[in-house]
Amino acid sequence: MRLFSQCQGPHNPVPRVSKPKILLQLDGDSHASSFDAVVAIDAGVDHLLSHATVRPENVLGLVHGCMFTRGPDDLRHTAIFVGGSDVEVAEANFQEVCKSFFGPIRCSVMLDGNGCNTTAAAAVLAAGKHVDITAVTALVLGGTGPVGQRVARLLAGNGAQVRIGSRRLERAEATCSELGKLTAVNREQLTPIATHDGIALDTALVGVQLVVSAGAAGAVMLPATNRAAAADLQVAIDLNAVPPAGIEGVEVTAKAKSMDGLIVHGAIGVGGTKMKIHKAAIRQLLQTNDAVLDAEEILAIGKRLN
Amino acid sequence: MRLFSQCQGPHNPVPRVSKPKILLQLDGDSHASSFDAVVAIDAGVDHLLSHATVRPENVLGLVHGCMFTRGPDDLRHTAIFVGGSDVEVAEANFQEVCKSFFGPIRCSVMLDGNGCNTTAAAAVLAAGKHVDITAVTALVLGGTGPVGQRVARLLAGNGAQVRIGSRRLERAEATCSELGKLTAVNREQLTPIATHDGIALDTALVGVQLVVSAGAAGAVMLPATNRAAAADLQVAIDLNAVPPAGIEGVEVTAKAKSMDGLIVHGAIGVGGTKMKIHKAAIRQLLQTNDAVLDAEEILAIGKRLN
Amino acid sequence: MRLFSQCQGPHNPVPRVSKPKILLQLDGDSHASSFDAVVAIDAGVDHLLSHATVRPENVLGLVHGCMFTRGPDDLRHTAIFVGGSDVEVAEANFQEVCKSFFGPIRCSVMLDGNGCNTTAAAAVLAAGKHVDITAVTALVLGGTGPVGQRVARLLAGNGAQVRIGSRRLERAEATCSELGKLTAVNREQLTPIATHDGIALDTALVGVQLVVSAGAAGAVMLPATNRAAAADLQVAIDLNAVPPAGIEGVEVTAKAKSMDGLIVHGAIGVGGTKMKIHKAAIRQLLQTNDAVLDAEEILAIGKRLN
């Protein structure tokens, strides 16, 4: 193991100059995301240390290298971004980062594998412009996936009644149980619901004012006929950016657009907000050395921007 | 797929500051070229995003990450360099980059795998100081290789009669057919020619004023005896930097040097021009977001420097 | 091979601006050390070119890319750091770097795989505050390992009598022979000694004023009972940062601390000096283009700091 120390003591007469801002990018993919890299640079990062193919067993050394090279006053100028297209790998790496800290000897860290947190936060903010989140009943299609789970927990955490939709009910139930363990979420506000066919979908949509589709690319989560039959629906947000649309008829660039009596947003339509949140989160990472930014904290950043 | 948008709209009151200049280096080798990295930095790149072991299937995501993170006005501050020692891999990556763009949503891109384009351009510029390219008859030894092909197409594109030499005539014929498809090249100006032995070489050199050797390292492409027998030869350029010389007798550092009645250039002798072209090309990449720099465009940059 | 040249000649009328400071980080690990990266940045490096999984066969191209991209006057702004947790791989890479240079066409280079040289230098400087190195008899436990060898050669090179301890005497003998070949070291000052059990340890410590423990993590090199029995011992330095302590009873944060009549240092206790040496060495790398920083040169840098 490397030797280390907090190197500059109070006896150092050199006037303090702010250290360069360093972001350690831990990415699980074969090539670290250029998207996350450009956003980091545009958020003011001076030096990006990008690492690809990062697995939990690689995390400790990389995090300790950041923790033990700057004194406590300067650790806020070093931060960690955990990304990559595989959200499960990113989550495992993120947990490992958090376990690597020694009490106050730590760096700020943000999780945004596949943009899951910034996307979910942007979707919830978009919805909140049209409905009262604290009183709404929402259906999250693809609610067991990484983005869907985050949309669900953010909605529920802000007071909504949330139906977590999945083709397989038992998966929806498992997700409700998991999310119910989070301190930010009241299990009572989550309901698992099956969405395996049109009849199930119609049932799932009864009393729902807000639907968010967070399914995998390539799947039509809500056909137009079922959408049209949803009498209570007011707002539909589709987070799929690749054709076909997850919510049939919603254009990817739609932004608070009226369509068949609904207000709809497409993936690119919420992308502007997502990007602003992402940049603001990176900036916040570099303000202190103790931020831990997961879904709730990233939504809070988004709320302050709005 | 990630969500995205052109994030900052006209209602943003913040005064526009020029974004940092970012170069995405896509390199096919196990370790991204430090040569290309240093040149990029010295050409004014602020942040280099270097990626090694890049294959065509990795390109789309990396290019989209660059395209979708900055607004249209700022995309000229992000550019893409495609390199690596394997020119075929670099060419495949380059094609993939160009296919990833969506109309005007694009970044400038430059191909220079193994320095093929900057080297070919520098060789043609060196030749042009001593002969009239529009009227010259040239022989390109190793003319089917990546650098040789580019020298041939640049000479032909500027009016020269070009003999593409190869030990195997059918390979030279295939290269002539390929290059003849380029809009910049007239097939009539290309002649395939065998160079498998001394007699073939002597025949290939009849009427030739300019010879450029672009063969693989380790091969003597033109022995001294055949060179001496070439009655019409005026200029000889050897692009091989590793002993033995591709054109026997030409020193690697030779720059417009007189030798046995010829003017000769070695690989390092044209290297100064090559380097200036490389830097100027990187600078040009970062002026607009729509430059596509392959052989012809890179030669044009070189001409403006001269 | 790429073509190249020293591009800017004296006829270039452009006023000279200092080139950005570039550090090529050659690291043998799967992910390049973030520790070394942050230190480099804090030492003033403008652009870090980090390469992981570097093996000797990858070195030549990466070094030539640095050598041939800047003119002789600017090569001092490009330097090479060889690191990674496997010191043997780092040493092999370092040798390959040195072999890649062409006389004066070179860059400064530093070896510090696993922090071996900066750690050894810091340990020797710490010892020198309490004993006269030129007259001391020292025992290096784990003296055949990469850090131990460097502590031994630095102590011997500065006049100490050094016992190189190992559980296996023949390994200690081999290390003495190897180190004796260095010009900085007089073989007469090195003695191999077995430390395989308590009796051997007690014997090895007779007449020893200074003990440095540089064994692998997890091994107690010097139990408290043997330490207590060492009548001549004055200073004990433990370079193991992971519990259990290599020298039983020495806290990892101890810095010139009194303990049972001894002055002791732990790994973190010497870490402040280590870090200062590391940064100063990076700064020195970027002053000239011909520095070769191995153990002796890095200790010399440390002495100037003290």
Contact A274 B6 (CB under 8 A): no
C-alpha distances in angstroms, C285 versus B5, C25, C85, C106?
A: 44, 13, 21, 12
Q: How many B-C residue pairs are in contact by the CB < 8 A criterion? A: 88
Q: Does C245 reach chain A within 8 Å, measured CB to CB? A: no
Q: Does B122 reach chain C within 8 Å, measured CB to CB? A: yes
Q: Does B12 reach chain A within 8 Å, measured CB to CB? A: no
Of the residues C42, C116, C147, C282, the best mutation for testing chain A's interface (the one with the most A CB atoms within 10 Å of its CB) is: C42
DSSP assignment letter at B192: E
Tell me the shortest Cα–Cα distance from A149 to chain B, in angstroms.
Answer: 16
Q: Does C24 reach chain B within 8 Å, measured CB to CB? A: yes
Tell me the sheet residues that pair with C192.
C164
| pLDDT score of B9 more than 70 | no
| Residues in B touching A267 (Cβ below 8 Å) | 1, 3
Model pLDDT for residues A124-156, shown as the tens digit of each residue: 999 999 999 999 999 999 999 999 999 999 999
Q: Give A12's pLDDT tier (boundaries 50, 70, 90).
A: very low
Q: Does B15 reach chain A within 8 Å, measured CB to CB? A: no
Three-class SS state of B172:
helix
| pLDDT score of A306 more than 90 | no
Burial class (CB in 10 A: 0-12, 13-18, 19+), A226: buried
| pLDDT score of B75 more than 90 | yes
Tell me the shortest Cα–Cα distance from A70 to chain C, in angstroms.
Answer: 8
Q: Does A17 reach chain C within 8 Å, measured CB to CB? A: no
Q: Does B64 reach chain A within 8 Å, measured CB to CB? A: yes
| pLDDT score of A197 more than 70 | yes
Which residue did the predictor score with more confidence, B14 or B275?
Answer: B275
The ranges assigned to domains in chain C are: 22-111, 116-270
Q: Does B114 reach chain C within 8 Å, measured CB to CB? A: yes
Model pLDDT for residues B198-235, shown as the tens digit of each residue: 999 999 999 999 999 999 888 999 999 999 999 999 99
Contact C1 B242 (CB under 8 A): yes
CATH fold of B22-111 reads Rossmann fold (3.40.50)
Three-class SS state of A247:
strand
C-alpha distances in angstroms, B5 versus A267, B67, B71?
A: 9, 10, 8
**Cα B157 from chain centroid (whole Å):** 14
Would B22-111 and B116-270 be classified into the same CATH topology? yes
| Residues in C touching A1 (Cβ below 8 Å) | 217, 240-242
- pLDDT per residue, tens digit, chain C (306 aa), is 333 343 334 444 455 578 999 999 999 999 999 999 999 999 999 999 999 999 999 999 999 999 999 998 999 999 999 999 999 999 999 999 999 998 899 999 999 999 999 999 999 999 999 999 999 999 999 999 999 999 999 999 999 999 999 999 999 999 999 999 999 999 999 999 999 999 999 999 999 999 999 998 889 999 999 999 999 999 999 999 888 999 999 999 999 999 999 999 999 999 999 999 999 999 999 999 999 999 999 999 999 997
Check: CB of residue C225 under 8 Å from CB of residue C199: no
Which residue did the predictor score with more confidence, A283 or A14?
Answer: A283
C116-270 to CATH, choices 3.40.50.720, 3.40.50.12780, 3.40.50.970, 1.20.1440.130: 3.40.50.720
Contact A65 C38 (CB under 8 A): yes
* Nearest-by-CA chain C residue for A25: C34
Model pLDDT for residues C133-159, shown as the tens digit of each residue: 999 999 999 999 999 999 999 999 999
The ipTM assigned to this model is 0.91
B191, containing H or E segment: strand B190-194
Residue C103 Rama label (left phi>0; alpha psi -120 to 50; beta): left
